[in-house]
Amino acid sequence: MLKIALAQLNVHPGDPRRNVQSMERCISQAKEQHCHIIVFPELSIPGYLIGDIWDQPDYIRECVHFGERIRALSDRITIFFGNVACDETRLNPDGRQRKYNALFVAQNGQFIGPERSPYPYYIKTLMPNYREFSDTRYFTSLLQVSQERHLFPEDLISPITLTFSGGQTLRVGPLICEDSWDDNYPFKPMQYLHDNYPLDVFINISNSPFTLGKTQRRHRLFGKSIGQFNVPALYVNCTGIQNNGKNIYTFDGASGAYGKDGSLHYECPLFHEELAILDFDETSHTFVSPQKQNPQEEEVADICHSLQYGIRSFMENAGLSKVVLGVSGGIDSAVNAALYASILPKENILLVNMPSVYNSSMTKDLAQQLADHIGCYYTVIPVQDSLELTRKQFREAPLLQNGEEKGHLALTSFIEENIQARDRSSRILAAAAAAFGGVFTCNANKAESSVGYATLYGDHAGFLAATADLWKHQVYALARYLNDVVFQREVVPQGSIDIVPSAELSASQDITKGQGDPIVYPYHDYLFRAMVERWQRVTPETILTWYAEGTLEKQIGCSVNVRDVFPTAKAFIDDLERWWRLLSGFAVAKRIQSPPVLSISRRSFGYDLREAQLKPYYTTRYEELKQTLLNQ
Q: Which of residues 511-540 bind a copy of itself (CB under 8 A)?
A: 535-539
Helices and strands (H and E) in the chain: how many: 22, 23
Q: Among residues 108, 136, 361, 628, which is the contact residue for a copy of itself, using CB under 8 A?
A: 136
Q: Does 482 interact with a copy of itself (rule: CB under 8 A)?
A: no
Binding of residue 152 to a copy of itself (CB under 8 A): yes
Q: Which stretch binds a copy of itself (CB under 8 A): 196-204, 277-285, 358-366, 375-383?
A: 375-383
Which span sits near a copy of itself by CB under 8 A: 8-16, 163-171, 214-222, 298-306? 8-16
The one-letter amino acid at 571? A
β-strand partners of 279: 3, 289
Spatial separation of the C-alpha atoms in residues 407 and 425, rounded to whole Å: 30
CA dist 239 → 8, 210, 253, 254, 370 (Å): 7, 9, 5, 9, 32
Looking at beta carbons only, is 25 or 408 nearer to a copy of itself? 408
Judged by CB under 8 A, does residue 14 bind a copy of itself? Answer: yes
Site for a copy of itself in 68-107 (CB under 8 A): 90-97
Binding to a copy of itself by residue 619, rule CB under 8 A?
yes
Which of 35, 3, 40 lies closest to 278, judged by CA? 3
Shortest Cβ distance from residue 39 to a copy of itself (Å)? Answer: 25
Return the residues of window 487-506 that contact a copy of itself according to CB under 8 A: none
Per rule CB under 8 A, is residue 376 in the interface with a copy of itself? Answer: yes
> Taking contact as CB under 8 A, which single stretch among the options 29-37, 223-231, 451-459, 546-554 is the one that binds a copy of itself?
451-459
Q: Which of 72, 362, 435, 571 binds a copy of itself (CB under 8 A)?
A: 435
Q: Which one of residues 77, 126, 170, 278 is an interface residue with a copy of itself (CB under 8 A)?
A: 126
Establish if 609 lies at the interface with a copy of itself (CB under 8 A).
yes
Does 573 sit near a copy of itself (CB under 8 A)?
A: no
Q: CA 67 to CA 396: how far, in whole Å? A: 67
Per CB under 8 A, 384 contacts a copy of itself: no
Calculate the CA dihedral of residues 212, 215, 220, 226 and round it to 10 degrees. Answer: 150
Radius of gyration over alpha carbons of the chain, in Å? 28
Q: Which of residues 283-312 bind a copy of itself (CB under 8 A)?
A: none
418 contacts a copy of itself (rule: CB under 8 A): yes
Candidate list 1, 25, 34, 57; residue touching a copy of itself; CB under 8 A: 57
* Residue 426 makes contact with a copy of itself by CB under 8 A: yes
Of the candidates 375, 313, 330, 349, which has an alpha carbon nearest to the alpha carbon of residue 479? Answer: 330
User: Count residues contacting a copy of itself (CB under 8 A)?
Assistant: 132
Give the binding range for a copy of itself (CB under 8 A) out of 71-79, 133-141, 507-515, 575-583: 133-141
Rounded CA-CA distance 599/602 in Å is 9
Cα(419)–Cα(319) distance, rounded to whole angstroms?
32
Binding status of residue 147 toward a copy of itself by CB under 8 A:
yes
> Residue 607 Cβ, how far from a copy of itself at the closest point, in Å?
8
d(CA 267, CA 561): 42
Taking CB under 8 A as the criterion, the residue among 432, 503, 511, 587 binding a copy of itself is 432
Strands (E), 270-410: 274-281, 286-289, 323-326, 349-353, 377-380, 400-401, 404-405
Q: What is the 3-state secondary structure (H, E, C) of 558-578?
A: CCCCHHHHCCCHHHHHHHHHH
Nearest alpha carbon to residue 103 among 142, 145, 154, 155: 142
φ, ψ (nearest 5 deg) of residue 173: -85, 110
Residue 97 or 107 having the CB closest to a copy of itself = 97
Please give the Cα distance from 137 to 114 (Å, whole number). 25
Kindly state whether residue 51 participates in binding a copy of itself, applying the rule CB under 8 A: yes
- Which 8-state DSSP code applies to residue 595? P
- Nearer to a copy of itself (CB atom), residue 110 or residue 627: 627
- How far is Cα of residue 294 from the mean position of the Cα atoms in its chain? 21
Neighbours of 623 (CB within 10 A): 13
* E strands in 49-200: 78-91, 97-107, 110-111, 122-123, 160-163, 169-176
Interaction between residue 389 and a copy of itself (CB under 8 A) = yes
557 lines the binding site for a copy of itself (CB under 8 A): no
Of these, 148, 299, 484, 549, which contacts a copy of itself (CB under 8 A)? 148
Q: How many CB atoms lie within 10 A of CB 113?
A: 20
Which residue in 89, 165, 283, 401 binds a copy of itself (CB under 8 A)? 401
- What are the contacts of 143-152 at 24+ separation with CB within 8 A? 143/187
Residue 395 Cβ, how far from a copy of itself at the closest point, in Å?
11
Interface residues for a copy of itself in 235-264 (CB under 8 A)? 242-246
Beta strands in 437-592 (DSSP E): 439-440
Which residue of 21, 28, 129, 230 would you call a contact of a copy of itself, by CB under 8 A? 129
Give min distance, CB of 325 to a copy of itself, in A: 14
Q: What is the dihedral of CA 414, 415, 420, 421, to 10 degrees?
A: 80
Indicate whether 582 belongs to the interface with a copy of itself (CB under 8 A). Answer: no
409 binds a copy of itself (CB under 8 A): yes
Residues 157-216 contacting a copy of itself, CB under 8 A: 182-187
The answer to whether residue 398 forms part of the interface with a copy of itself (CB under 8 A) is yes
Q: Can residue 155 be called a binding residue for a copy of itself (CB under 8 A)?
A: no
User: What angle is formed at CA 570 by the lines to CA 565 and CA 572, rounded to 5 degrees?
Assistant: 35
User: Among 335, 315, 317, which Cα is nearest to 433's?
Assistant: 315
Kindly state the smallest distance separating residue 561's Cβ from a copy of itself, in Å.
Answer: 25
Between CA 138 and CA 86 the distance in angstroms is: 11
Query: 326-365: which residues touch a copy of itself (CB under 8 A)?
Result: 347, 350
Q: State yes or no: residue 622 binds a copy of itself (CB under 8 A).
A: yes
612 counts as binding a copy of itself under rule CB under 8 A: yes
From residue 487, give the alpha-carbon distance in Å to each of 322, 484, 498, 598.
Answer: 20, 6, 19, 22
Q: Which listed residue (119, 164, 192, 394) binds a copy of itself by CB under 8 A?
A: 394
Which amino acid does the sequence have at 405? E
Specify the residue, 298 or 372, whose C-beta has the smaller distance to a copy of itself.
372
- For a copy of itself, the binding residue among 288, 357, 362, 415 (CB under 8 A) is 415
Taking CB under 8 A as the binding criterion, the range among 59-67, 265-273, 495-503, 505-513 that sits at the site for a copy of itself is 59-67
